[in-house]
Amino acid sequence: MVIVAGVGYGVYEYFRTNARTADLDANVKISAIDLYNAFTDNETLADSLYLMQVIQVTGKVADIKEDTSGIIILLDGGNGMFGISCGLQKTDEEVKKVEKDSEITIKGICTGMLMDVVLTRCVIVPADKK
Amino acid sequence: MKTILVTILSVSLFAFTFKTEPTKYFTREANITFLSDAPLEKIQGINNQAVSMLDISTGAIEFAVLMKAFEFEKALLQEHFNENYVESDKFPKANFKGTITNFSDVKWTVDGEYPVTATGKLTMHGVTKDVTSKGKITVKAGAISATSTFNILISDYNITIPSVVKDKINNSVKIDVTSNYKPYQG
């Protein structure tokens, strides 16, 4: 019985996929400008606070870019060029409704900062769930 | 006639003075994938949020990527990748800084596909190694894109594969890079 349970757990672990971000509660709710400023002010401190956390971020859509592998929405970080780079699945129906310059809320996993703060596995948060 | 000539020259000079072509290009959506093809398992990691800068006046080209932003089909592989192999808490970023050695062969304003070679230094897992890769620059309707495929040995970057999983992870990893640039307005 223990062996069967062990094998079952091993198989489950091996094939386990990442949890759907939509199902995860946000650890942090923050504006895009505040999140961007947190990283530019002190990246080490921001890493300690936000890295691999589920972040719900609200901001103005500065750019939307779709390519073969996914969709990137850039939320304005307040400096005109950089901000929060949010990676979404092409299958996300909510993305099709997003318009440039509109204010939206996105939930994703913070993986750090390059020139933008990068969130992966993002989903759009509907207005009634903010 | 003289008036017409002066007018044409004036307009040309005005256009020359005020319409300079951009020399620096940028993307925050560069796609970098790696593939380990071992006898018992194929492992692919995908990252479509790498940044890249290209200077067409010098051929300088740079990439930077967050290791934690690589996505895998299986969560366990992603955890092992970050914790056991690339140690992304300790070495969160990888980057390439190099030059397209034959950048002068590329007609940056003329549609076409141009074979190029980039040489430079790839830093990952705290180790910097010289890398040379062949690739292609595509110019189409004013847009510039770059693709390249090359192999690295992960042992070169002080990443060791435990013998128990040596049939699941290939020491030679194929890297594919695709970047669609737009003018940098920094």
The model's confidence at residue B32, banded by pLDDT at 50, 70 and 90, is very high
Provide the pLDDT for residue A30: 98
pLDDT of B162 > 70? The answer is: yes
- The model's pTM is 0.87
The model's confidence at residue A12, banded by pLDDT at 50, 70 and 90, is low
Q: Residue A67: inside a domain, yes or no?
A: yes
Q: Does the distance separating the beta carbons of B50 and A87 come in below 8 Å?
A: no
Provide the pLDDT for residue B17: 47
Rounded to two decimals, the ipTM of the complex is: 0.87
Highest mean pLDDT (candidates A34-38, A91-95, B43-47): A34-38
Q: CATH classification of B21-183 is 2.40.128.110, yes or no?
A: yes
Q: Which residues in chain A have Cβ-Cβ distances shorter than 8 Å to B46?
A: 69
Provide the pLDDT for residue B21: 76
pLDDT of B12 > 60? The answer is: no
CA B179 – CA B94 distance, rounded (Å): 16
Provide the pLDDT for residue B117: 97
CA B22 – CA B181 distance, rounded (Å): 12
Q: Which position has the higher pLDDT, B113 or B19?
A: B113
Structure tokens at B30: 């560069």
The minimal CB distance from B71 to the residues A14, A74, A120 is found for A120
pLDDT of B8 > 80? The answer is: no
Q: CB of B132 within 8 A of CB of B118?
A: yes
Question: Which residue in chain B has the smallest CA separation from A53?
Answer: B68
pLDDT of B177 > 60? The answer is: yes
- Mean pLDDT of the B69-96 span: 93
CA A90 – CA A103 distance, rounded (Å): 20
Q: Residue A8: inside a domain, yes or no?
A: no
Q: Residue A29: inside a domain, yes or no?
A: yes
Residue among B60, B43, B38, B70 at smallest CA distance from B164:
B38
Amino acid sitting at position A59: G
Q: What is the mean pLDDT of chain B?
A: 89
Q: pLDDT tens digits for B120-133?
A: 999 999 999 999 99
Provide the pLDDT for residue B4: 57
What burial class does residue B75 get, using C-beta atoms within 10 Å of its C-beta: 0-12 exposed, 13-18 middle, 19+ buried?
A: middle
Q: Which of residues 16-45 of A touch B (CB under 8 A)?
A: 16-19
CA B41 – CA B22 distance, rounded (Å): 45
- Domain residues for the domain of A35 are 21-129
With tokens 């890295």, the residue in question is A51
CA A29 – CA A34 distance, rounded (Å): 10
Domain range summary for chain B, segments of one domain joined by +: 21-183
The model's confidence at residue B142, banded by pLDDT at 50, 70 and 90, is confident
Q: Residue A16: inside a domain, yes or no?
A: no
Q: Residue A40: inside a domain, yes or no?
A: yes
Provide the pLDDT for residue B115: 98
Q: Residue A13: inside a domain, yes or no?
A: no
Which residues make Cβ contacts (< 8 Å) with residue B144, sequence separation at least 6?
A: B25, B54, B56, B108, B137, B138, B181
CA B79 – CA A17 distance, rounded (Å): 11
Partners of B121 in beta bridges? B97, B130
Nearest-neighbour CA in chain A from B79: distance (Å): 10
CA B105 – CA B71 distance, rounded (Å): 36
The model's confidence at residue A19, banded by pLDDT at 50, 70 and 90, is confident
Q: Residue A47: inside a domain, yes or no?
A: yes
Structure tokens at B183: 């003018």
Number of domains observed in the structure of chain A: 1
Partners of B145 in beta bridges? B138, B180
Q: Which of residues 58-87 of A touch B (CB under 8 A)?
A: 65, 67-70, 72, 74, 81, 85, 87
CA B64 – CA A98 distance, rounded (Å): 28
For B71, how many CA atoms within 13 A lie in the half-sphere containing its CB? 21
Q: Residue A69: inside a domain, yes or no?
A: yes
Which residues make Cβ contacts (< 8 Å) with residue B54, sequence separation at least 6?
A: B24, B25, B26, B60, B61, B144, B146, B179, B181
The minimal CB distance from A15 to the residues B29, B71, B74 is found for B74
Q: Which of A14-18, B58-62, B76-80, B155-159 has the lowest mean pLDDT?
A: A14-18
The CATH number of residue A63's host domain is 2.40.50.140
Partners of B178 in beta bridges? B31, B147
Q: Which residues in chain A have Cβ-Cβ distances shorter than 8 Å to B34?
A: none
